[in-house]
Amino acid sequence: MLRSRAMPMLAAAGCVALSLAACSGSASSAGIHKIRHVIIIMQENRSFDTYFGTFPGADGIPMVNGVPTVCVPDPKGGCTKPYHDPANSNGGGPHGAANATADIDGGKMDGFVAQAEAGLKGCLNTTNPACTNSATPDVMGWKDAREIPNYWTYAKDFVLQDHMFEPNASWSLPAHLFLVSEWSATCSVADDPMSCVNALESPANPPDFVAHKAGVIPPDPDYAWTDLTYLLHKDSVSWGYYVVPGAEPDCRDPSALSCAPIAQNSKTPGIWNPLPYFDTVSQDGQKGNIQPVENFYNQAKAGTLPAVSWVVPSAAVSEHPPAGTAAGQAYVTSLINAVMRSSDWSSTAIFLAWDDWGGFYDNVMPPMIDENGYGLRVPGLVISPYARQGYIDHQVLSFDAYAKFIEDDFLGGQRLDPKTDGRPDPRPDVREDAPQLGNLTADFDFSQAPRPPLLLPVHPPPGPASIPGT
């Protein structure tokens, strides 16, 4: 059961007597179109409890008088309680589908230490703390404003979502496919959506991480199913996908904690840049919309951001272990500051999340939606001039809610639905319409005057320690 919390007063007339769902529905129809720019910033591999487990009022680490009441079994003996971890660089744990199942353990949420220790076998990268500190896996550690002060400031001044779940119970590539298409599949015939079949763990043919593990360069996958850019293009809605050049943040083997780096940029399709493999993107002549992140900064400065933007990192700024949290926070802050300085700020909604849990501890069992997920909880933030202030959203959410918001704002509520979208595929369900899924309009007050920018230092000093259990 989700913890209850007093909701902030709703500004719309008559909302006091209505349910939040009714009010958000009213706000949606009246004001969602004030948002003309949706920006999704996707970082890497952190669970909700790792970053916000001690945030006041959030559904965080179970504690009594500031002492954790949970202790996760350690196969080496005893158990490990959640603890404050000030380290900038972490190791985390393996995060494939099997690891998700083991971490969740039927709702016990007690597999994290065992999975981290098992994942240490075969470490390749000795700079990864998970490899060098094998005696003490750090998956039970949590951080607060001392390590991530800007993230905590955004949570205090805007909206923190404490039941945002990865859309799939697996690793990064499927998560990024759900982010842009609401499905992860493998297809046997190019440009034939009906040839695609569900593929939670290995959405490539053959699975590219297996080929890379064997030292073989695999053939390019063909993503023939329908993605969100198809609907955007059909309705002449502008979009951009922005890639930070460098190395891919994750290993192509989801069970591995370390691997040799693979180069990425806006012209190299990969785990964080899957759109070039989609048939629709090529057929619509939209590959040019996949751009270097420098273009995002320039377009923000010029006030020419597209209606929909996705922004993905490189390894160095991803927060994906062993990448440091400070570098990732600085990069994200620079993106948000660029938008806040832009003339587009007054009509923008920024959705910030982390693509999967990275093997780190979380205490909340994910709800089951279908055979693909949901996966474990990740942090979620909403930053907008229309965002509620100091609001914690307890709705059940996943990245599907981003697609739902975009579709409601720009596409008249059209879904990636094989029955109605004009390009049918055999996806198992319409994720945006799952009855469990909340509505992001609840995070906005469209009746308020647009809030001014909140520019933060890219390299902030540490914030205050949290008071666990408050």
- Write out pLDDT tens, residues 107-120: 999 999 999 988 87
**Exposure letters 281-296 (e unless 16+ CB within 10 A, then b):** beeeebbebbbebebb
- Write out pLDDT tens, residues 52-65: 999 999 999 999 99
d(CA 247, CA 347): 33
User: Worst-scoring range by mean pLDDT, 7-21, 26-40, 44-58, 346-360?
Assistant: 7-21
* Per-residue tokens: 14: 């008559």
Most confident of 94-98, 203-207, 208-212, 293-297: 293-297
d(CA 412, CA 19): 24
pLDDT score of 15 more than 70: no
* Per-residue tokens: 186: 């493998």
d(CA 128, CA 249): 13
User: Worst-scoring range by mean pLDDT, 219-223, 233-237, 272-276, 394-398?
Assistant: 219-223
d(CA 183, CA 201): 12
Cβ proximity of 311 and 41 under 8 Å: yes
173 three-class SS? helix
Count CB-CB contacts under 10 A for residue 416.
27
pLDDT mean over 234-255: 78
3-state secondary structure 238-290: CEEEEECCEECCCCCCCCCCCCCCCEECCCCCCCCCCHHHEHHHHHCCCHHHE
For the chain, give every domain's residue range. Answer: 17-52+145-443, 71-142
Reduced to 3 DSSP states, what percent helix, strand and coil does the chain have, rounded to the nearest 5? 30, 15, 55
Quick one: pLDDT at residue 54? 98
d(CA 401, CA 431): 9
In the chain, % of residues over pLDDT 70: 82
The H or E element that residue 310 is part of is: strand 308-312
User: Worst-scoring range by mean pLDDT, 38-42, 57-61, 128-132?
Assistant: 128-132
pLDDT score of 145 more than 50: yes
Which CATH number is associated with domain 17-52+145-443?
Answer: 3.40.720.10
The H or E element that residue 294 is part of is: helix 293-302
The H or E element that residue 348 is part of is: strand 348-354
Cα–Cα separations (whole angstroms), residue 284 to 93, 178, 194, 234, 361: 39, 20, 19, 9, 42
79 three-class SS? strand
Cα–Cα separations (whole angstroms), residue 345 to 238, 381, 391: 17, 16, 20
Task: State the DSSP string of 201-221.
Answer: S--SSS-HHHHHHTT--PPPP
Cα–Cα separations (whole angstroms), residue 378 to 84, 124, 186, 328: 18, 27, 26, 16
* Per-residue tokens: 88: 């900038």
**Nearest Cα residue to 64 out of 81, 47, 86, 87:** 81
Residue 36 — pLDDT band, cuts 50, 70, 90? Answer: very high
| Burial class for 215, CB neighbours closer than 10 Å (0-12, 13-18, 19+) | exposed
Chain mean position to CA 305: 21
pLDDT score of 159 more than 60: yes
The H or E element that residue 177 is part of is: helix 172-181
CA atoms within 13 A on the CB side of 62: 11
Quick one: pLDDT at residue 32? 97
Sign of CA dihedral 85, 86, 87, 88: positive
Residues 6+ apart with CB under 8 A from 253: 209, 210, 212, 213, 259
Residue 200 — pLDDT band, cuts 50, 70, 90? Answer: very high
| pTM of the predicted model as reported, rounded to 2 decimal places | 0.89
